[in-house]
Amino acid sequence: MDASTIIAVAIIFMLIAIFGTVAFLLAYLGAFREILINVGKPPVKKFRGYYKFARGDYKESGSLFEETSKLAPDLRTFGIYYDDPEKTPFASRRYIVGTIVEEDGVPGVEDSEKLKQFEQALKEHGYKEVEIPSVENAAFVTFPWRTNFSIFIAVNRVYPAFSNFIKEKRLDHGPFLEVYDRPAEAIHFATPLEKFDDLYVLDCLEANNDEDYEDLSPESANEDAEAEDGESRDVPKDSE
């Protein structure tokens, strides 16, 4: 076997190894995972937390997730998105980002002093306390959270699946809830199919008189942003 043949074989094996590694990584991050929409009681229970209300392009929520994670690094974060990005201008879209300090009566961390410190830090930075009741009937999906890139994959795969499912079943639904559960390495996506008002905070209701407000829809802001300007929504950053 001459030198050129050896080099060619080596290159082929190297390419196979590279593509195999990439394929394995994408599979690990959930790129090929089947998106199965469930209907019923989602894994997220009633919780008490702190949030910040914002208006604007949903893709900007990533910076707020990052801030929240830095203030309370050991707690799970959540986001709720209220408006249809296909019908609501960027500046009028309403959402909240926050952290869960207690779920179904169970504190987010065992150390009560640490929890108090987290709550104090959140209050000092303008976060407001909120209680979100449990949802008995919702459409929901749980997606693996391996790295921050898996969040990007999740957002781009879960919301189109939600959209198709809801249109096919002709379901009425409420806002979209996302919970980032680092201990479980999972992201929970859910939208209530009843009692929609349970996910609305006072800030959101006060902003409801805006003339640009539109009905809710399962379309993600990430998809809309890509369609309009080629960009995608920032993803929540973990504390690592």
Kindly state the average pLDDT of the residues 163-171: 90
**Bigger pLDDT: 176 vs 228:** 176
Q: Is the per-residue pLDDT at 227 higher than 50? A: no
Buried b (16+ CB within 10 A) or exposed e, 159-191: bbbbeebbeeeeeebbbbbbbbbbeeebbbbbb
Contact (Cβ atoms closer than 8 angstroms) between residue 93 and residue 221: yes
Is pLDDT of 237 > 50? no
142-151 pLDDT per residue, tens: 988 767 777 7
**Phi and psi of 12, rounded to 5°?**
-60, -45
Rounded Cα distance, 80 and 93, in Å: 11
Q: What is the mean pLDDT of the chain?
A: 80
For the stretch 77-126, pLDDT in tens is 999 999 877 778 888 899 999 999 999 999 999 999 999 999 999 999 99
Determine the pLDDT at residue 179. 95
